[in-house]
Amino acid sequence: MNIILLGPPGAGKGTQARMLVDERDMVQLSTGDMLREAKDSGTEMGKIVADVMARGALVTDEIVIGLIREKLETVKASGFIFDGFPRTLAQADALGELLEAEGQTLDAVIEMRVDDAALVARIVARSTCGSCGEVYNDTTRPIPADGKCANCGGTEFKRRADDNEESLRTRLMEYYKQTSPLIGYYYAKEMLSRVDGLAEIEAVQSEIREVLDA
Ligand code: AMP
């Protein structure tokens, strides 16, 4: 089963994707994570995307489609969770073609709905474990008092360079201009389901479970 988690930055796509990985043995394909890895390891592509990402703008379709193509051709999995991809109509078309070429289908697109004010509050309070990527929030899910990640015991936590109000504004604008048309695109393909991304993490998880088991 292959699914897309669709929603603005801070909607909780990464958190939910990780839970599905644990629960269903699926593979999470996050283009944001792949691009951050390329940036941190200083590859040629990483250097090209660093500035674009820091501003909160979108990396070119060509680059991200190339990343996804490579994964689909090389990683074998019982299912993929696309997290942060596709973000444009061209990427959505490309994903359909890539899956078809691999003899696979797209089974569900889950839109995680949240209101904009909540997103800003969430994002500026967000940090992640440097070892496993577990997500924390200063107010709703603080780093454990012993300073150890609840998931892996890691002791280093980081904040994303683009989790600040200025680049968030650009990221939100990009979402509304380029990504939100995908809601209509997948609705028309009769693939779209919606969940309330503002509910408690476990409640969102069970809504997603219901969609996938339907
Ligand atoms: P994310 O971790 O999904 O919030 O992505 C972080 C940043 O990586 C975005 O703000 C973009 O600059 C870039 N990015 C990630 N995925 C894509 C994509 N599918 N298309 C274009 N840019 C992307």
- Residues with a known catalytic role: 13, 87, 126, 160, 171
pLDDT at 121 over 90: no
Q: Is 42 helix (H, G, I), strand (E, B) or coil?
A: coil
How far is residue 93's CA from residue 201's CA, in Å, rounded to a whole number? 31
How far is residue 214's CA from residue 208's CA, in Å, rounded to a whole number? 10
If one residue of 13, 53, 63 were mutated to test the ligand 1 pocket, choosing by the most ligand atoms within 8 A of its CB, it would be: 53
Ligand 1 pocket, 182 CB below 6 A? no
pLDDT at 60 over 90: yes
Residue 206 CA, ligand 1 centroid: distance in Å: 26
Q: Is residue 7 within 8 Å of 18, Cβ to Cβ?
A: no
Measure the CA dihedral 93/96/102/103, to 10°.
-150
Q: Is residue 120 within 8 Å of 114, Cβ to Cβ?
A: no
What number does the ligand 1 atom closest to the CA of 167 have? 10
Per residue in 163-203, pLDDT (tens digit) is 888 888 899 999 999 999 999 999 999 999 999 999 988 99
Local confidence band at 139 (pLDDT 50, 70, 90 cut-offs): confident
So what's the pLDDT on residue 117?
Answer: 84
Question: Which phi and psi (to 5°) does residue 195 adopt?
Answer: -130, 155
So what's the pLDDT on residue 185?
Answer: 98
Q: Which of 52, 175, 166 is nearest to 120 (CA)?
A: 166
Residue 57 CA, ligand 1 centroid: distance in Å: 8
Look up tokens 């994707």; give the residue. Answer: 17
Q: How far, CA to CA in Å, does 156 sit from each of 5, 112, 128, 129, 206?
A: 27, 29, 9, 6, 30
Look up tokens 């696309």; give the residue. Answer: 82
Tokens of 44: 């040629």
So what's the pLDDT on residue 140?
Answer: 85
pLDDT at 79 over 90: yes
Residue 143 CA, ligand 1 centroid: distance in Å: 25
pLDDT at 160 over 90: no
